[in-house]
């Protein structure tokens, strides 16, 4: 069910929510957090809401969407409430601010009266985020701040901002997209012969914040020389090669879908390694509301990574 409240106020929205709860249309007793989505008013809103709705099946929450409208328009706030089948396992409140209400301070002010009491607040910028999320008016309300450098207009500039201004509670979906890679690489090194890695090479697209983070993570966790090189072909992270005395461990994903894990003395193993959807990354981030120290360490580790200029060619796959 969708209810529109044009030229509304936060008080009117709260009253309508009470009416809907009284009639059985929405419940808040099971909500575990408030997710505040900050974006521009446009087509990407529905994609963000769909991702949040999918994540809400694992994390029931109140979703507040702050959609910044035209700043030159007359000041007003148009609200929309979605419950039931239109809101997943949550309730969605879309607030469109115009004129003076389209600013960051005003957006935070619109959201405050609608936050669930005694529940943590998570802020998510699906596209362009402020340079310093922790100092943003909405970011100050949140215990966790989720950004996505890959979806920004300039991904590498956004990534460098994340590195320069990281504080506890920050995270980025470019990090969450690496979870399958990290799990496979850690598992491969967790088996005999338990030899140290002497050096590693991480290859990926030239514009790939995730590739940068994976190299930084390896530099910190393995405490060895790590080189970040461009890949001759393939999307996102394409390959990782870790040198050990008994031979290299390689994880290669040339097509963005299926990876091949190669280890000395073992047959090549195909692994599912498709690029993760935003909804899956968001659901993973909402599982923890404490500081992600490993992400912070990976950001710092990027400074230890050497740069390669020669594109890495993907080795022939089994059966090719």
Instruction: Let me know if residue 219 belongs to a domain.
Output: yes
pLDDT at 111 over 80: yes
Boundary (domain end) residue, out of 101, 126, 147? 147
Location of structure tokens 């910190």: 220
Boundary (domain end) residue, out of 97, 131, 147? 147
Instruction: Let me know if residue 165 belongs to a domain.
Output: no
List pLDDT tens digits, range 120-173: 999 999 999 999 999 999 999 999 999 999 999 999 999 999 999 999 999 999
Both 210 and 76 in one domain: the answer is no
Both 135 and 227 in one domain: the answer is no
Both 7 and 138 in one domain: the answer is yes
Both 136 and 225 in one domain: the answer is no
Boundary (domain end) residue, out of 97, 130, 147? 147
Angstrom distance (rounded) from CA 259 to CA 253: 4
> What is the per-residue burial (b if ≥16 Cβ within 10 Å, else e) of 227-258?
bbbbbeebebbbbbbbbbeeebbbbbbbeeee
Instruction: Let me know if residue 37 belongs to a domain.
Output: yes
Distances (CA, A) of 4 to 12, 13, 75, 93, 95: 11, 10, 18, 10, 10
169: left (phi over 0), alpha (psi -120 to 50) or beta: left
Q: Count of domains in the chain? A: 2
Instruction: Let me know if residue 157 belongs to a domain.
Output: no
Both 133 and 201 in one domain: the answer is no
- Whole-structure pTM value: 0.93
Angstrom distance (rounded) from CA 145 to CA 242: 33
Both 137 and 27 in one domain: the answer is yes
pLDDT band at 318 (very low <50, low <70, confident <90, very high): very low
Instruction: Let me know if residue 272 belongs to a domain.
Output: yes
Instruction: Let me know if residue 173 belongs to a domain.
Output: no
List pLDDT tens digits, range 252-281: 999 999 999 999 989 999 999 999 999 999
Both 100 and 191 in one domain: the answer is no
pLDDT band at 317 (very low <50, low <70, confident <90, very high): low
Instruction: Let me know if residue 162 belongs to a domain.
Output: no
Both 183 and 93 in one domain: the answer is no
List pLDDT tens digits, range 21-78: 777 655 555 788 999 999 988 778 999 999 999 999 998 999 999 998 888 889 999 9
Edge-to-edge strand order for the sheet containing 258-262?
A: 269-272, 258-262, 249-252, 237-243, 199-204, 225-230, 306-307
pLDDT above 90 as % of the chain: 76
Both 215 and 95 in one domain: the answer is no
List beta partners, residue 77.
97
Output the pLDDT for position 89: 73
Full domain range(s) for residue 246: 179-307
Both 194 and 293 in one domain: the answer is yes
Contact 282, 90 (CB under 8 A): no
Instruction: Let me know if residue 174 belongs to a domain.
Output: no
Q: Which residues does 146 contact at the CB level (< 8 Å), separation at least 6?
A: 122, 123, 124, 125, 171, 172, 173, 282, 285
Both 35 and 140 in one domain: the answer is yes
pLDDT at 319 over 90: no
Angstrom distance (rounded) from CA 179 to CA 121: 24
Both 6 and 64 in one domain: the answer is yes
* Phi, psi for 84 (deg, rounded to 5): 70, -135
């Amino acid at each position: 069910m969708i209810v529109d409240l044009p030229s509304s106020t936060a008080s009117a929205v709260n009253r309508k929510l009470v009416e809907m709860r009284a009639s059985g249309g929405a419940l808040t007793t099971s909500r575990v957090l408030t997710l505040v989505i900050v974006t521009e008013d446009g087509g990407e809103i529905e994609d963000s809401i769909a991702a949040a709705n999918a994540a809400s099946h694992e994390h029931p929450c109140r979703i507040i969407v702050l959609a910044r409208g035209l700043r030159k328009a007359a000041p007003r706030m148009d609200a929309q409430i979605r419950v039931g089948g239109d809101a997943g396992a949550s309730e969605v409140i879309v607030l469109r601010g115009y004129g003076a209400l389209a600013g960051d301070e005003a957006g935070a002010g619109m959201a405050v009266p609608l936050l669930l009491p005694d529940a943590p607040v998570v802020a998510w910028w699906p596209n362009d985020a402020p340079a310093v999320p922790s100092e943003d008016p909405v970011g100050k309300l949140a215990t966790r701040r989720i950004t996505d450098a890959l979806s920004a207009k300039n991904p590498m500039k956004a990534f460098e901002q994340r590195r320069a201004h990281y504080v506890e509670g920050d995270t980025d979906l470019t990090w969450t997209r690496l979870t399958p890679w990290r799990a496979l690489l850690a598992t491969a090194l967790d088996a005999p012969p338990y030899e140290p890695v002497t050096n590693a090479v991480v290859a990926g697209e030239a514009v790939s914040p995730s590739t940068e983070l994976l190299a930084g993570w390896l530099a910190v966790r393995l405490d060895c020389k790590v080189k970040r090189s461009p890949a001759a072909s393939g999307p996102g992270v394409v390959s990782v090669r870790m040198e050990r005395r008994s031979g290299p461990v390689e994880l290669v994903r040339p097509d963005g879908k299926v990876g091949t894990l190669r280890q000395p003395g073992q047959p090549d193993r195909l692994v599912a390694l498709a690029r993760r959807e935003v909804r899956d990354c968001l659901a993973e981030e909402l599982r923890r509301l404490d500081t992600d120290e490993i992400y912070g360490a990976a950001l710092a580790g990027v400074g230890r990574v050497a740069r390669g200029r020669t594109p890495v060619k993907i080795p022939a796959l089994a059966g090719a």
